[in-house]
Amino acid sequence: MTTSAPRSGGRHGRAPVAATSVEATSVEATSGAAAAGRTVSAPAGGGGASRAGEALWRRMAGAALVAAVAGVAGWGFHRVFPGTELLVAVIPAAIAPAAVAAILGRRPLWLSLLLDVVLWFAGTILLYKGPHPGVFADVANSWHALLTTLLPAQPEPHLLVLVHTLVWAAAVIGAETLARTRTRIAAAVPALAVYGTALLLGVDGEGSNLPVAGALFVLIAALALLRDDRSPLWLPAGLPAAAALAAVALAVGPLLPIAAQPYNPRQDADLPPPRRVDSVSPLDRVSAWLQIPDRELFTVKADKPLNWRLAVLDRYDGVRWTSGARFQPTGGRVPEAGWTGEADVVHQKVTFDGLPGTWLPAAERPERVDGVRGLVVDPESGALLAGAKPAKGFSYEVTSKVPRPSKQELLDATPAVDPGLTAFPAGPQQRLFRKLAQEATKGATAPITRAYRLQKYLRTNASYDVTAPPGHSLKGLEFFLQTTHRGTSEQFATTFALMARTLGLPSRVVVGFRPGQASGGIYHVKSGHVMVWAEIKFDRLGWRPFYPTPGRSGAKDDHDVVSSDIEESEELEGEFTQGGSDRPKTSQPQATGNGEEPSSGPSIWLIASVAGGALLVAYAGVVVALPWWRRRERRRAEGPGQRVLGAWRQTCDDLGLRGQYALTAADVVAGQAGSGDISTHIQPLAEISNVVRYAPDTVTEDAAAAAWQHSDAIRRAVRARTPLITRLRNRLLLRRAI
């Protein structure tokens, strides 16, 4: 392994200086020594080729690990995009930058970055299935779009491009950090940031990210072992230990308090404002539909006959009922309502025929919708909208939960507190509506009983007439109550809702349809099946339907769902009154205007600041402790020979020669010629270290102590000649231990 002639022995029986190579370092060999004019030896027996092969293997393995870490971090978005479409965004973005760094090595950084940007564009072409001029706008807007989307999100390119960009950035930074620095796990930090982003954006999604965290832990441990320049045999030994620790973390993770109620950034996101959905409200179409009752609108294949809700209207200005819904995009999931008790699960398949507009009918309350592209939903009402007007023959599937509260749960129900749902437009009609409502509910104190009596009052004091004039303005409803006493479900339901509001019962109006004509398990819904009903919101019970519209011409109602509900309400009202259970109920004030529990949780910026501070503190601890621990282990090595080698390795680290395996002790001494105190101490230290190579049994404790004295002196000299800024940079990058 030597290229220079041996020197004669000196003090302490020292062997020739030229024999010892800088072999116990932790970074791969470079060509820096040759560039500096130092002699680079070629070990006999093909050792140089072996080391070059190992260096190539480590470079390729490191690039592969960086790609794997970035890809696994990107898979953390599986709670946002649960389908395989996510792989199209993640895999190219993780592999391409790592391949560029592995191939180009330490060529100019601008060349690598230029090629990486080109490959990023190529990845977006795969996502959009062609060039897309608005890709930069999509990246900028996708953050807010995902924060206002109900998970799972639809795997649209304008959303997936965010994942593609984040994974690509993590892979670029990680791969170039790995190729151009000597750090161990710094290359994995960008991927950890991507994983943290996935955790925040996917907090509402299905599944768990704990397995992803375990995989990241194992991969980062493998990267650390690889960069520590240990023998490849350490990988099979170290990875099972890392996997065991990851398994423990997976078991303990769900038990942490933050796992029960994680912070949801969607709580602080600005939702889209209420919008008018169609130019013509479904409520304004009711009278026209009743005039042509045989027009086919849609069919429903369902487990049982139910009312099919179409539109929910909760705002009234004295002229028109409109929707205050804040629709949010969703991949099919509809948030649960307030009811958590017993419920019937009903599956439906709806097929459009002649139904106008973009509202989608479904049984209350939908919890899952499949087959609708661009689906948006109002979390409060459960109303559904398609992204575009459905064509004839368009089909989708819905799974709904129909609440089944008990009699006692109905009796114990208290109205929710929401000023917006009890607002009554200013005008003289409010006195009339309140007076009639109080007369209708006289003697009833339980909120549910008042609602039932109000329903009975309208059903028995007015008649159903499809020829009645349309409209639901205050003046029109006043004329309905005082003069005509006839109308369609439009007038009955809107009058009930307004009278309920004068009693403090939060109400809204729903436009929907009867089940339709059954034929072979399929319900054919026509325009004549249109119906309007009212709903009142109760705490814990949610929205309860009420049907104030009587049957046609006083006959028995031709709608089984309404008939059974009316019979049940009359039976319950009688039981409540006769049993003496009609007692007053008081509603508890809520912290928010809509009767929901106030949201809690720390700010996203607070969490980010704490997490960032924790990472900085942890890294600072490593920066301070690692060099000290390494010197301590070397100084306390077993046997004087090992302590001498530790002193030599420490000196090579201090001189910045870590990883330069091909340099001999003579090369190191020659490179420090004329360096003052360093050259004074490097020569005797090299001679002592050669003794370990050729005569290890002759090394004494005094020789080991002398070796460390020379090493400490060299370290002090290096510190003295190295600027403070350089020392800090090297320390932060874990390059040297000075």
Helix pair angle (640-654, 604-635), 10° resolution: 130
Q: What per-residue confidence (pLDDT) applies to 144?
A: 87
Q: How many CB atoms lie within 10 A of CB 298?
A: 24
Residue in 549, 314, 552, 548 with CA at minimum distance from that of residue 452: 548
Q: Which residues contact 48 (CB under 8 A, 6 or more apart)?
A: 42, 662
Three-class secondary structure of residue 528 per DSSP: helix
Looking at residue 48, what is its pLDDT? 56
Measured CA to CA, the distance from residue 384 to residue 367 in angstroms comes to 11
pTM of the model: 0.64
d(CA 29, CA 19): 18
Mean pLDDT by runs of 10 across the 738 residues of the chain is 39 41 39 36 49 75 92 93 91 94 86 93 92 92 88 90 95 91 88 92 84 86 78 59 59 51 74 65 92 95 92 93 88 84 92 93 93 90 91 95 89 90 92 95 90 93 92 94 94 96 96 92 94 94 92 52 64 54 39 40 56 63 72 84 85 76 72 77 84 79 87 85 73 53
| pLDDT recorded at residue 493 | 96
DSSP state, 155?
A: -
pLDDT at residue 268, rounded to an integer: 75
Q: Kindly state the helix (H) or strand (E) to which residue 714 belongs, with its residue range.
A: helix 701-721
The alpha carbon dihedral of 586, 592, 596, 600 has a sign of: negative
Predicted local confidence at residue 659, as pLDDT: 61
Phi, psi of 531, rounded to the nearest 5 degrees: -155, 145
Q: Report in angstroms the alpha-carbon separations of 258 from 187, 437, 615.
A: 28, 49, 18
Angle at which helix 210-227 crosses helix 47-75, to 10 degrees, equals: 160
Q: HSE of 707 in the Cβ direction (CA atoms, 13 Å)?
A: 30
Question: CA dihedral defined by 295, 299, 305, 308, rounded to 10 degrees?
Answer: -70
Contacts of 347 (CB under 8 A, 6+ apart): 302, 303, 397, 398, 399
Bridge partners of residue 305, in order along the sequence: none
Sheet containing 308-313, strands listed edge to edge, beginning at the edge strand earlier in sequence: 308-313, 507-513, 530-538, 542-546
Find where tokens 């190529």 sit: 122
In angstroms, the CA 278 to CA 15 distance is 94
- The residue whose two tokens read 């391409």 is 96
Q: Please give the single-letter amino acid code of residue 174.
A: G
CA distance 213 to 259: 14
Contact 118, 299 (CB under 8 A): no
- Amino acid, res. 345: V
Residue located via tokens 């320049």: 229
The per-residue pLDDT for 2 is 39
Contact 328, 272 (CB under 8 A): yes
Which residue shows structure tokens 């917006």? 420
The bridge status of strand 522-526 relative to strand 321-322 is: unpaired
Q: Kind and range of the H or E element at 722?
A: none
DSSP string, 181-225: ---SSGGGHHHHHHHHHHHHHTTTSSS-SHHHHHHHHHHHHHHHH
